Structure 1
Amino acid sequence: MTKHLSERQKALIKEDIKCGLNQTQISNKRNISRNTVQRYILKLNDGSFYERKKESDRKELLQPNHKISLIIEHTKDHFVTLPILQKNY
């Protein structure tokens, strides 16, 4: 039987996200499955990818337009291989 998040739990998860906690930290703190936390975060972001933390010094490896093109290719065919993508881009 699946357990749904209450409105209170959803609000607490949102607060934890604002505080900068990651999925694992939230799931441990709230005693909720990490997959449940991940699904809720995806719903909050309308299925979009997570953004990097503002403090992160990691450089972007892909430009936004490349990310979009990869997503489009993946939605067309879930079994697209790296050599095929490299030929196209």
Structure 2
Amino acid sequence: MNVWKTKKVKLRAKRTFLKLGTCSRTFFYILNLEFGNPKEDEERALDPLAGGILQQGYQCGMLWGASMALGTESFRRNGSADKSVANT
């Protein structure tokens, strides 16, 4: 891969994180952007998951954001909660 392209991608990811402010929201945003399924209200709702759920030290917000994005995409593709859970 081109070194300049790699640096550009890293810089874009850092800027996105600084703009959004939390790992959970950033990962949810990036994955939903790739899926073509932006969800601004849901992104903001993920902010309390940052820092291990309200800074309590539980699982990282990055994991929560990625998990929520996966669930959102699964629901979009399957159309029902039951099918979405079975497929993830």
Is TM-score (shorter-chain normalized) higher than 0.5? Answer: no
Structure ID, larger Rg = 1
* Higher relative contact order (CA closer than 8 Å, sequence separation 6+): 2
**TM-score (norm. length: structure 1):** 0.30
Higher helix share: 2
